[in-house]
Amino acid sequence: MEGVIDHHMRDILTRIGGYHHCVTEFVRVTDKLLPGHIFHRICPELEHASQTSSGTPVTIQLLGGVAEAMAENAQLAVELGATSIDINFGCPSKFVNRKAGGAVLLKEPERIFKITEAVRKAVPRDLPVSAKIRLGYESTELALENALAVETANASFITVHARTKVDGYKHPARWEWFGRIDAALSIPMVANGDINSVDDFLRCREISGCQDFMLGRGAVAQPDLARQITAATQTQNIATPMHWNEITGLIMELGKAMKMQTRPQIDAIKILGRLKQWLVYLKRQYPEAAELFTAFRHAKDFSQADELLQLKHD
């Protein structure tokens, strides 16, 4: 989730709890070896044993269509401290797809195999290499072939988002495909797509038979969703969702963390835009977020937004 799940958001969400590991925004690879500072910018956790402040492992995700360049950059990431690598074959962005990266590669299972194999060979055997795919580009015709290409390339596991590229995020996730793909594979499979509540999780688990799941937009809309799911599965109780007052505290925390960032420094307008972005997600679960978003529209800088947040928080 480029521009959404950065290191600040990863830190906040993993401190709330419920996650076994998390994945960075993608590092875009063309045909060259990237400078090290790119990896550190996207994954500052490299300086802390590739973990968030709560100790949650962080995986670096690479996106690109040139096998040799992907392998070289994976090797560099490991040299810089990465403890696991994920390959993005699922991004539906038109810009990314035009650059031969992301979901467009789902049209070519052989390229998926070659890229995954090249990265796997470049990374020490004891470090996990995984890949994330969608069900296909325009149709699900190659879903199994693409998944098997990842497995044949000796990936450690695979994550499947249950939509095609053309589906985008509008078409309901096709959870019925999870069981079919999982049954065809010998490596572990992680299910992803439309898990926005504990009930969604329980229904997805029942339909798919899967044991491992990834949260995306649902985690941003409900910051304690992973903790709620963990409570439901381990104790068969539903954890009390975070109250709006707690959520405003998290929004304040994100703004202050971004304001303190120095490499690179973020200007006040961008911070304000980022807080508005989070409020758009939060509106799905918290009606109060809509009111605060409206108030933010009149704010000119972060200090005004901080004052509004403080009023809502107190």
DSSP state, 60? Answer: E
Instruction: Name the nearest CA neighbour of 43 among 86, 91, 81, 1.
Output: 81
Could you list the active site residues? 91
| 72 pLDDT above the threshold of 90 | yes
Tokens of 148: 């098997």
pTM of the shown model: 0.94
Domains of the chain are: 7-234 (3.20.20.70), 244-313 (1.20.225.30)
Whether the bond between 188 and the residue before it is cis, its omega within 30 degrees of 0, is no
| 49 pLDDT above the threshold of 70 | yes
Half-sphere exposure of 142 (CA within 13 A, CB side): 20
CA angle 252, 39, 68 (to 5 degrees): 145
Q: Which residues contact 172 (CB under 8 A, 6 or more apart)?
A: 194
| 116 pLDDT above the threshold of 90 | yes
pLDDT in tens, 248-307: 999 999 999 999 988 888 888 899 999 999 999 999 999 999 999 998 888 877 777 777
Tell me what pLDDT residue 56 has: 98
Cβ atoms of 27 and 66 within 8 Å: the answer is no
Pairing label, strands 22-28, 129-136: unpaired
Tokens of 93: 């962005």
- Per the document, the length of the chain is 314
H-run or E-run covering 271: helix 268-282
